[in-house]
């Protein structure tokens, strides 16, 4: 069940909310959380009920291992249990997500023909695996309290963030389940529905709207057709915007939904295209993933404690694995490697600046930094979207005029989209800045930047009308009437 579907908006969500609110009035607080757990399993099982066994098995095993790790055991025994627990999680992820890729690669490189059935990736496995690995590591470190099983289940399965994040941390979620939220139900719902609506609009109207320019360019690139510079830029830019509005829209929807149930999620996107460096970009883009990779991978590799050289290597390895986490394919690995290299260069540049006392605080420097960062990100996204490395290279060559220029095939209508979306990405305040007076997310401190009073959300008639229009507009795009396909016949 997708957030942007009629069944979710008009059936699942109202029932889940009503049930939650009714059960909130009962004396036992577990009842409402049990209700949410059941709703979350239903939400997850809607795609494929057989996946429920995998997620349930993963939860039971991890909860058990976490409980053992939290107990009084010798350090060696704990280390062994943690090792087994993490290995089991990564093994599960590795089997479902990477087995096909590795076997295919081995077959291609060696010429062997190792048979392997096409393994279907269970939904959200990357997300719930990471959350639980973090839980185990923290249990080992003694940073986990005793939580009951229902709360743990909800921490893993809470449907707003189950499918595509934000990747939540037990320290952020479990205390909220236990303590509850002091704000009124109507306040939480008002804030939640506003954030959800903005997210739905970003996804259904903006991301899906600009996506029309993505497919043709990337398909042409895969079929090794020579493409014009204009078409290549159109495809790359359109994907840059599509991905942002799609993913940040989803995160907004998750944040808004969670808020309707009184839960505040961590911030996941903070106007990433306003970044003036790649380092800043990764502090603003998919923040919960960056935090996870930093905390549990980069630091585990030694972080910057082992000298400058190791720092670059660790950064590179972290981003390489971060790329692989996004998908099992060479294009993702290259994308990760490029970001790893760019982060290294960025850190090196900071050192050079420090060494020579360059401050770089002028407006021109800021604008150039922003544009250079944006350009770098656009080019890197090409690898993220392309199906093959050669497809990505075809587009990049055409973008920089390195392939024979041919007549463009994409209409210039894309330019209007790009101007509008650029204004939103590079100038407008983001959802959480607009809502910043109402604690939209955890880590409020990240919401820097002034927002004029006019743009700040208030529970006013103006905002009620805006929410109603955006919601209606978004819902109108959920169905498209099938236009006729075969006019040539």
Report, as residue numbers or ranges, the catalytic residues.
Answer: 326
Q: Could you say which DSSP state residue 266 is in?
A: P
Question: Minimum distance between the CB of residue 482 and another protein, rounded to whole angstroms?
Answer: 5
DSSP string, 317-362: HHHHHHHHHH-SSHHHHHHHHHHHHHHHHHHHHHHHHHHHT----S
Cα three-residue angle 384-249-247, rounded to 5 degrees: 20
Q: Decide if 257 contacts 196 (C-beta within 8 A).
A: yes
For another protein, which stretch binds (CB under 8 A), given 226-234, 281-289, 356-364, 454-462?
Answer: 454-462
Does position 479 bind another protein by CB under 8 A?
A: yes
Q: Single out the residue of 108, 186, 362, 448 in contact with another protein (rule: CB under 8 A).
A: 186
Question: Minimum distance between the CB of residue 158 and another protein, rounded to whole angstroms?
Answer: 23
Q: Which is nearer to another protein, 150 or 466 (CB)?
A: 466
Question: Minimum distance between the CB of residue 489 and another protein, rounded to whole angstroms?
Answer: 4
Does position 453 bind another protein by CB under 8 A?
A: no
Which helix (DSSP H) or strand (DSSP E) does residue 232 occupy?
helix 229-260
Query: What residues between 1 and 30 interact with another protein by CB under 8 A?
Result: 6
Q: Decide if 39 contacts 16 (C-beta within 8 A).
A: yes
Does position 459 bind another protein by CB under 8 A?
A: yes
- Residue-wise burial string across 10-24, b where 16 or more C-beta atoms lie within 10 A, e elsewhere: eebbeebbebbbebe
Q: What CA–CA distances, in Å, run from 480 to 114, 200, 338, 476, 477?
A: 43, 16, 38, 8, 6
Question: Minimum distance between the CB of residue 459 and another protein, rounded to whole angstroms?
Answer: 4
Q: Single out the residue of 30, 104, 187, 295 in contact with another protein (rule: CB under 8 A).
A: 187
Q: Which is nearer to another protein, 72 or 483 (CB)?
A: 483
**Residues contacting another protein: total by CB under 8 A:** 33
Q: Which is nearer to another protein, 26 or 184 (CB)?
A: 184
Does position 184 bind another protein by CB under 8 A?
A: yes
| 303 contacts: CB under 8 Å, gap ≥ 6 | 311, 314
Structural tokens at position 462: 């103006």
Alpha helix ranges (H) inside 144-184: 149-157, 159-162, 170-179
DSSP string, 363-376: HHHHHHHHHHHHHH
Does position 475 bind another protein by CB under 8 A?
A: yes
Question: Minimum distance between the CB of residue 131 and another protein, rounded to whole angstroms?
Answer: 31
Question: Which of 61, 82, 88, 260 has its CA nearest to residue 158?
Answer: 260
Does position 182 bind another protein by CB under 8 A?
A: no
For another protein, which stretch binds (CB under 8 A), given 77-85, 188-196, 358-366, 392-400?
Answer: 188-196
| 40 contacts: CB under 8 Å, gap ≥ 6 | 154, 157, 158, 159, 162
Q: Decide if 141 contacts 21 (C-beta within 8 A).
A: no
- Residue-wise burial string across 360-382, b where 16 or more C-beta atoms lie within 10 A, e elsewhere: eeeeeeeeeebeebbebbbbbbb
d(C-alpha 349, C-alpha 359), whole Å: 12
For another protein, which stretch binds (CB under 8 A), given 153-161, 344-352, 382-390, 457-465?
Answer: 457-465
Q: Single out the residue of 59, 167, 324, 467 in contact with another protein (rule: CB under 8 A).
A: 467
Q: Single out the residue of 27, 182, 362, 480 in contact with another protein (rule: CB under 8 A).
A: 480
Q: Decide if 305 contacts 323 (C-beta within 8 A).
A: no
Q: Which is nearer to another protein, 79 or 462 (CB)?
A: 462
Q: Which is nearer to another protein, 359 or 461 (CB)?
A: 461
For another protein, which stretch binds (CB under 8 A), given 105-113, 187-195, 272-280, 378-386?
Answer: 187-195
Does position 219 bind another protein by CB under 8 A?
A: no
Q: Which is nearer to another protein, 377 or 470 (CB)?
A: 470
Question: Minimum distance between the CB of residue 68 and another protein, rounded to whole angstroms?
Answer: 44
Question: Which of 400, 459, 457 has its CA nearest to residue 433?
Answer: 457
Peptide bond into 153 cis (omega under 30): no
Question: Minimum distance between the CB of residue 147 and another protein, rounded to whole angstroms?
Answer: 31
For another protein, which stretch binds (CB under 8 A), given 111-119, 150-158, 327-335, 468-476?
Answer: 468-476
Q: Decide if 432 contacts 267 (C-beta within 8 A).
A: yes
For another protein, which stretch binds (CB under 8 A), given 130-138, 165-173, 179-187, 246-254?
Answer: 179-187
Does position 471 bind another protein by CB under 8 A?
A: yes
Q: Decide if 214 contacts 246 (C-beta within 8 A).
A: no
Q: Single out the residue of 109, 364, 419, 461 in contact with another protein (rule: CB under 8 A).
A: 461
Question: Minimum distance between the CB of residue 9 and another protein, rounded to whole angstroms?
Answer: 12
For another protein, which stretch binds (CB under 8 A), given 128-136, 289-297, 355-363, 466-474?
Answer: 466-474
Q: Single out the residue of 159, 189, 230, 384 in contact with another protein (rule: CB under 8 A).
A: 189
Binding residues for another protein (CB under 8 A): 6, 184, 186-187, 189-190, 193, 459-461, 463-465, 467-469, 471-473, 475-477, 479-489
């Amino acid at each position: 069940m997708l957030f942007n579907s009629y069944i979710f908006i008009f059936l699942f969500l109202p029932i889940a909310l009503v049930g939650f609110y009714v059960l909130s009035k009962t004396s036992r607080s577990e009842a409402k959380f049990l209700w949410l757990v059941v709703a979350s399993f239903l939400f997850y099982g809607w795609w494929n009920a057989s996946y429920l066994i995998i997620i349930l098995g993963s939860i039971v095993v991890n909860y058990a291992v976490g409980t053992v790790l939290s107990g009084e055991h010798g350090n060696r025994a704990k280390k062994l249990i943690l090792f087994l627990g993490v290995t089991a999680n990564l093994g599960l992820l590795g089997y479902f997500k990477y087995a096909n890729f590795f076997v295919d690669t081995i077959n291609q490189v060696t010429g062997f023909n190792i048979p392997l059935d096409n393994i279907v990736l269970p939904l959200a496995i990357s997300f719930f695996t990471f959350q639980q690995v973090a839980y185990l590591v923290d249990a080992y470190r003694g940073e986990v309290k005793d939580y009951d099983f229902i709360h743990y289940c909800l921490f893993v399965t809470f449907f707003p963030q189950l499918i595509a994040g934000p990747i939540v941390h037990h320290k952020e979620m479990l205390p909220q389940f236990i303590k509850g939220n002091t704000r009124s139900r109507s306040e939480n719902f008002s804030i939640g529905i506003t954030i959800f609506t903005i997210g739905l609009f970003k996804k259904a109207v903006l991301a899906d709207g600009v996506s029309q320019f993505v497919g043709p360019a990337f398909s042409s690139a895969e079929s090794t057709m020579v493409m014009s510079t204009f078409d290549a830029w159109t495809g790359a830019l359109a994907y840059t915007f599509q991905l942002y509005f799609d993913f940040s829209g989803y995160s907004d929807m998750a944040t808004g939904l969670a808020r309707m149930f009184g839960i505040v999620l961590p911030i996941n996107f903070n106007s990433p295209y306003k970044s003036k460096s790649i380092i800043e970009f990764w502090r603003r883009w998919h923040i919960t993933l960056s935090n996870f990779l930093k905390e549990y991978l980069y630091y585990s590799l030694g972080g910057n404690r082992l000298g400058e050289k190791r720092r670059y290597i660790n950064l590179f390895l972290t981003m390489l694995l971060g790329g692989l986490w996004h998908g099992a394919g060479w294009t993702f690995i290259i994308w990760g490697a490029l970001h790893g290299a760019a982060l290294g260069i960025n850190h090196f540049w900071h050192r050079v600046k420090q060494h020579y006392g360059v401050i770089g605080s002028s407006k021109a420097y800021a604008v150039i930094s922003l544009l250079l960062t944006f350009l770098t990100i656009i080019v890197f996204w090409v690898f993220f979207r392309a199906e093959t490395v050669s497809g990505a290279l075809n587009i990049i060559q055409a973008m920089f005029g390195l392939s024979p220029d041919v007549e463009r095939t994409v209409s210039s209508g894309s330019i209007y989209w790009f101007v509008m979306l650029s204004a939103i990405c590079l100038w407008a305040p983001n959802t959480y800045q607009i809502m910043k007076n109402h604690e939209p997310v955890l880590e409020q401190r990240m919401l820097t930047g002034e927002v004029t009073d006019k743009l700040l959300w208030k529970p006013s008639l103006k905002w009620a009308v805006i929410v109603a229009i955006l919601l209606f507009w978004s819902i109108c795009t959920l169905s498209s009437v099938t236009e006729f396909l075969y006019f040539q016949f």
